[in-house]
Amino acid sequence: MIVHWLYTAIVRPILLYGNIVWWPSLDKNCNLRILHKIQRSAELCISGALRTTATEALNTILDLQPLDLLAKSWASATALRLREAAAWTTGSTGHSNILSKHSPLPLYTDYVPPIVDFERRYKIYIPTRSDWDNLPHQFVSAVNIYTDGSRLNSQTGGGVFSPELDLKVSFRLPDHCSVFQAEVIAIQEATTHLNTSVHQDIDIFIFSDSQAALRALDSYTTSSKTISECRKSLNEMATHLSINLIWVPGHLNIEGNCIADELARQGTTADILRDKDTVGMPMATCKLHLRQRLYTLSNNRWNSISTCHNSRLTWPNYNTKRTKTLLQCSRENISTLLNALTGHCLIGTHAIRLGLSNHDFCRSCKQIDEEESIEHLLCFCPAHNLKRFQTLGSYTLPNLAAIQDVSIQKLLCFLRKTEYFAKADNP
């Protein structure tokens, strides 16, 4: 685990440093080969797999994407950030065409270069849940405004409700917007309905059930256009009015909060008004899209190779969660698992070559018509039926592809019981 971390957190960023400029050179195999050699060394170090194990199989099982695909994905994210900071020109050739060539990304985002702003004229209160037992759900002689955001069926909306202002507003945001943006924009929307001359001597309480939104408005830095604009509106209003933002727990069924919630739900199916049409996609969503695309391309490459027959059955796609479980094992166990998952272990022809066996039939069941193969051992070998039943819950497995649904821990238990794999460490 630590070597995996050292490689992904330190070595790989150093390897790909400045990729925004040199990513086109990764289309040349000679350059790519050098980088992949380094990744392969790290993978052998992490896994203790046999040196004959294919790089592609190690990449997939250890969740380390091919470096050319990763570099292009990182370059796209950097170019996008630079574009939003007005520091990027998209060209038709060379490194500057990354956004048009490699990424299905939006024409505008919610990103702004980080802004530091110490001005805070409004107050933010985040009471604990137990504090709420003693707090009034509505302040008397004050203007109470309840705000909420909602996302239903991949559509985002917001709602604002105030009994004192006789205000009920629903609005919809473009579908790429997050519920967090809707929460923040609902707070901003609340300020636009305050009349500075009428409410001058009255306390304004804006309730939101999003701690994340309130904390973001309380922070001194931001790289989100939505947060920055909301802060500006709040500060502007707070020059004339006393504005207080309060967190309200969503589950308390506070009437105002419930009405705002319902308005936000209605907002998700409303028409998008022109002033909300330009709210950009959050940078986190852009990065998520890039990451999903990276995995799609990596999986496509993995599934299109003609070798690694066993590994492609036992580990058909990149699987971050399964890799994490695998990496929690000791290096010796990772090696055992890798040997079984890839079929690169000392059985069958490998064993004969190394003098561990002088025939190609199974050494366990000794049936001369049963070839000693990874599929036979893991799935069918009758000599291991009981061990299979004790660990995997079934006497036999239908085929090698069934291994992808077996938990890492159970598979490891079975492998240890067979005693084939415990011995199958690097020679």
Binding stretches for Zn ion (CB under 5 A): 362, 364-365, 370, 381
Q: Smallest distance, Å, CB 382 to Zn ion?
A: 6
Contact predicate 245/120, CB 8 Å? no
How far, in Å, are 7, 118, 310, 319, 320 from residue 325 at the CA level? 18, 43, 20, 10, 9
Closer by beta carbon to Zn ion, 214 or else 378: 378
Cross-strand bridge partners of residue 361: 371
Closer by beta carbon to Zn ion, 296 or else 399: 399
Contact predicate 209/249, CB 8 Å? yes
Q: Smallest distance, Å, CB 387 to Zn ion?
A: 12
> Within 10 A of 304 (CB to CB), how many other CB atoms are there?
7
Q: How far apart are CA 326 and CA 342, in angstroms?
A: 14
Q: Smallest distance, Å, CB 360 to Zn ion?
A: 12
Q: How far apart are CA 120 and CA 282, in angstroms?
A: 24
Closer by beta carbon to Zn ion, 345 or else 362: 362
The DSSP annotation for 22-43 comes to HGGGGGSHHHHHHHHHHHHHHH
Q: How far apart are CA 388 and CA 70, in angstroms?
A: 39
Closer by beta carbon to Zn ion, 214 or else 377: 377
The DSSP annotation for 36-97 comes to HHHHHHHHHHHH---TTS-HHHHHHHTT---HHHHHHHHHHHHHHHHHHTT-----SSGGGG
Closer by beta carbon to Zn ion, 139 or else 361: 361
Q: Which residues contact 309 (CB under 8 A, 6 or more apart)?
A: 343
Q: Smallest distance, Å, CB 362 to Zn ion?
A: 3
Closer by beta carbon to Zn ion, 177 or else 362: 362
Q: Smallest distance, Å, CB 332 to Zn ion?
A: 25
Q: What is the DSSP letter of 115?
A: E
Q: Smallest distance, Å, CB 310 to Zn ion?
A: 17
Q: Smallest distance, Å, CB 313 to Zn ion?
A: 19
Q: Where are the alpha helices (DSSP H) in 223-330?
A: 225-238, 255-267, 283-304, 309-314, 320-327
Alpha carbon of residue 358 to chain centroid: 49
Contact predicate 216/190, CB 8 Å? no
Closer by beta carbon to Zn ion, 294 or else 415: 415
Closer by beta carbon to Zn ion, 272 or else 378: 378
Q: How far apart are CA 223 and CA 239, in angstroms?
A: 24
Alpha carbon of residue 281 to chain centroid: 16
Contact predicate 321/407, CB 8 Å? no
Q: Smallest distance, Å, CB 372 to Zn ion?
A: 7
Q: Smallest distance, Å, CB 365 to Zn ion?
A: 3
Closer by beta carbon to Zn ion, 340 or else 381: 381
Closer by beta carbon to Zn ion, 254 or else 381: 381
Q: How far apart are CA 28 and CA 51, in angstroms?
A: 25
Q: Smallest distance, Å, CB 414 to Zn ion?
A: 14
Q: Which residues contact 2 (CB under 8 A, 6 or more apart)?
A: none
Q: Smallest distance, Å, CB 363 to Zn ion?
A: 8
Closer by beta carbon to Zn ion, 333 or else 364: 364
